[in-house]
Amino acid sequence: MTDDTDLIPAPRRVSGNGTAAPHVLDEHTAIDAPPDADRVAHWLRTTIGQATRLPLNPGDGRNRIRLRIRPGLAEEHGPESYRLAVDEHIVSIEGASEAGLFWGAQTLRQLLGPDAFRRAPVSERRTWELPAVVIEDAPRFRWRGMLLDVARHFMPKDSVLRYIDLLAAHKLNVLHLHLTDDQGWRLEIAAFPRLTEVGAWRARTKLGHRDSPLWDVRPHGGYYTQADIREIVAYAAERHITVVPEVDIPGHSQAAIAAYPELGNTDVIDTASLAVWDTWGVNPNVLAPTDNTLAFYEQVLTEVLELFPSPYVHLGGDECPKDQWRASPTAQARIAAEGLGDEDGLQSWFIRHFDRWLAARGRRLVGWDEILEGGLAEGATVSSWRGYAGGIAAARAGHDVIMCPEQQVYLDHRQAGGTEEPVPIGYVRTLEDVYRFEPVPPELTAVEAARVIGTQANIWTEVTETQQRVDYQVFPRLAAFAEVAWSRLPAPADRDHAGFERRMTAHYARLDALGVDYRPPAGPRPWQRRPGILGRPIEGAPPIV
């Protein structure tokens, strides 16, 4: 890494470009792009152009940015690899695919400095200098994700689009949208309008941890229309980000049951009395294992598949209490009729049904590691959240794995000890802790390790009710996570954290230009604190489980 780049995530290889002088972008700089590179050219022209006031018109003159897709790069470095070379006359970006070309364009933006991350020029400068470098780069993992929980606290569409841009700036390529939960249903389903008419709104909201005595008595809610979702998906696709929808079953379903009481265990409780849940924790009200429930969610998922072209659909499968099923004659009859053995088998029956249903439509089911209980659906991918153990078991059984252990990369967990952290939840996970996170457990064999297709950081929003609060919890730690997901780093203890911190000095200026309300290294600013709101801190180092 040379001193004049300060790139995050760190590329595989950076070298000086001989004795070449820096390249100067000015009003005469053109973009030379064939049709297959036109979308990346458009992104450069609009994003870099609006920040620099440079026209970046099409052309192939001496002073130009040359974009090319060269599939041969993939043979050595993979489909998202790129090569960026700068000399005094030309900036050349070659990508193994359009995605690789786009990541190269993101690197170019970083080389231009923090003002290239603004939406309009902040000075009268007319020239922009690039160092003479050659950068060869490719990601370590093909799944580099962040989960955004829009169910607990709704995030308006414009904020989601903003986060897509923030993911792209960090070369992350999966946005996992947690769309449904006990506290809200956020996706318009034409066949079942009450899911949003009723399920998208709650009367009040617990302030802080569920043991807090405080309430926000304002109604809270919102949802995305199908047109909103199409816009989000298209916007993400232009930035080579896949939006993976999550519709949670069979637990985390009270908002759906509040809208359609017949979905619940009507032979155990009065489901018609249920409202959208207004507090946090694990909810006992789960879906009934009936043919009606299966048909209902098949119709829901039919519309989901029309909206989301992602090859993966996340169906949750976590934190499903079994008490109502134990007390339900209907559930017990289903267990007996299907030979499921017990309630864990019944949960597996739910997941297996939709695994087959999705597979028949060319999609793949993803679920939290509880889907291992009672037997794993044949084609399922496991999001290992309770630690590494579920991912290890799934990889050894031949299943694909996304590593996102709560103890390491849940970004709702607090960033420091003490009393100043807003609504402190979970373990202390500092910027350095996240930088030293390793997604692949050392006990896996090479074949098993290849089943770890990627990693994901998750931000749950029970106590992050605004964009400002989400920013604080996510950044700067997402920058460290992005480097873990993209770069081929040494073993955790051998990573150059001091060098990363030095590069972060430049990156904080980029985040400032992007308007990100991150946690400063010295601690929260006064307006970022939330005095008097109860959290749930856990002391000590998190276990490796």
Task: Give the C-alpha separation, 467 to 208, whole Å.
Answer: 16
**Cα 6 to the center of its chain, rounded Å:** 24
How far apart, in whole angstroms, are the C-alpha atoms of residue 405 and residue 390?
10
Contacts of 302 (CB under 8 A, 6+ apart): none
Cβ contact 369:384 at 8 Å? yes
Quote the strand ranges of 97-173, DSSP E.
128-130, 133-137, 143-149
| C-alpha closest to that of 535 among 443, 418, 367 | 418
- Residue 506 Cα distances to 71, 126, 316, 519, angstroms: 33, 22, 38, 15
Q: Please, how many CA atoms are within 13 Å of residue 307, restricted to the half-sphere of its CB?
A: 25
Alpha-carbon gap, residue 412 to 469, rounded angstroms: 10
Identify the DSSP state of 488: -
Q: How far apart are CA 258 and CA 184, in angstroms?
A: 10
Closest Cα partner for 371 from 348, 393, 355?
A: 348
N- to C-terminal Cα separation, the chain: 34
In angstroms, the CA 97 to CA 79 distance is: 6
The CA distance from 316 to 292, in Å, is: 20
**Residue 151 identity (one-letter amino acid):** A
Burial (0-12, 13-18, 19+ Cβ within 10 Å), 456: buried
Q: Which of 87, 181, 188, 421 is catalytic?
A: 181
Inter-CA distances, 39 with 13, 97, 101, Å:
26, 12, 10
Is 88 a catalytic site residue?
no
Q: Catalytic annotation on 252?
A: yes
Residue of 153, 209, 252, 314 with catalytic role: 252
User: Please, is 343 exposed, middle or buried when counting C-beta atoms within 10 Å of its C-beta (0-12, 13-18, 19+)?
Assistant: buried
Verify whether residue 181 is a known catalytic residue: yes
Say which of 129, 165, 238, 319 is annotated catalytic: 319
Handedness of CA 413, 419, 421, 422 (dihedral sign): positive
Look up tokens 């619940």; give the residue: 264
**Is the CB of residue 202 less than 8 Å from the CB of residue 219?**
yes
CB atoms within 10 A of CB 446: 6
What are the residue numbers of the active site?
181, 252, 319
